[in-house]
Amino acid sequence: MCQYSATNGVVGQWHDVHYGSFATSGAGLVMSEATAVSPEGRISIVCPGIWNDAQEAAWKKNVEVIHGQGGLVGIQLAHAGRKASSFIPWGDHAIASREEGGWQPVAPSPIAFDGYEIPHELSIEEIGRIVSDFTQAACRSLDAGFDVLEIHAAHGYLIHEFLSPLSNLRTDEYGGSFENRIRLLLEIVAAVKAELAARTPLFVRISATDWVEGGWDLNQAISLAKELKILGVDLIDVSSGGLDPRQQIELKPGYQVHFSKAIRSEAGIATSAVGLITSGPQAEQILESGEADAVMIGRAALRNPRWALQAAEELGEVVPWPLPLERGRTVR
């Protein structure tokens, strides 16, 4: 059992933040994405992690800055699985050599992702250590003061690799049937949930489909969401794809929202929607129509770090602005 400090009291108000758009709530959640639970769980040689004291201390400083500005902050705990050991994203080659700090990736089965090294097939003992890695990373996240924890089980990374029959060819208790393929995620969730403070929300990010025939699909995602609800997961962050290069995705505004709607309706659990959601009115319509309980903004915020302020302006809502930026406000 790990020890951790009490988290910020505003955690208990997370529903007020997420069950409305960023614009109308007057607050938002900053999520640190894909934070590795172990060195070999990193996507690239320069990706962040939270598996040691120095990392925990560094994250704590960042969390304190965000809290000091009245914000909430979450952390997405992840293991890259067979999509690990890549070079820096802006480099001139994809996979890091051993001399560059690379390593052999791991996976449920020794099936390489397109262009990557053949992964080591995890043993039962090694799977147990991964559950422990997620648990310890969750404890460190609480000690660092994060308000929300999210387990990354999407986009072809390790947990998704266990979920999909396209990447999981195991014949033991972690492969084959649906119940076996979801076992690792359920074990991680149960272990992490046992360590969480009562008022700390736990999200799980999933891919609702592989977009490949014979792979992971929406019906399985709905069944998984029902199991996660039983374990006390608060919200399913619904994305899709990332496991198989054969995926065929028709990109259009809000192209993944219908997955969120289906899981919310069929599993009776809160969901968030992502995917080509680019404006305040679009996000607000998704929430008001009941297709999701929250909207997560990723690439739109990379293009415009002040997206939430712009959305508020578009919707005519008054929200707090940083004082140095007040002159840019049009809605008062």
Catalytic option among 4, 19, 116, 157 = 157
Which pair of tokens denotes residue 34? 């894909």
Residue 34's alpha-carbon distances to 177, 245, 286, 322, in angstroms, are 28, 20, 25, 28
DSSP letter at 115 equals T
Helix (H, G, I), strand (E, B) or coil at 46: coil
Q: Give the residue among 177, 245, 270, 164 at the shortest CA–CA distance from 208.
A: 164
Tokens 């699909």 correspond to what residue? 217
Is 4 labeled as catalytic in the residue annotation? Answer: no
Pure H helices in 19-176: 22-25, 53-68, 124-143, 158-163
DSSP letter at 291 equals S
The answer to whether residues 125 and 62 touch, using CB atoms and an 8 Å cutoff, is no
In this structure, the dihedral spanned by the alpha carbons of residues 6, 12, 18 and 21, taken in order and rounded to 10 degrees, is -110
State the first-to-last Cα distance of the chain, in angstroms, to the nearest integer.
Answer: 50
Half-sphere exposure (Cβ direction) of 40: Cα atoms closer than 13 Å: 16
The answer to whether residues 280 and 312 touch, using CB atoms and an 8 Å cutoff, is yes
Which pair of tokens denotes residue 116? 């990557």
CA distance 98 to 106: 15
* Packing angle, helices 53-68 and 124-143, rounded to 10: 40
Q: List the catalytic residues.
A: 157
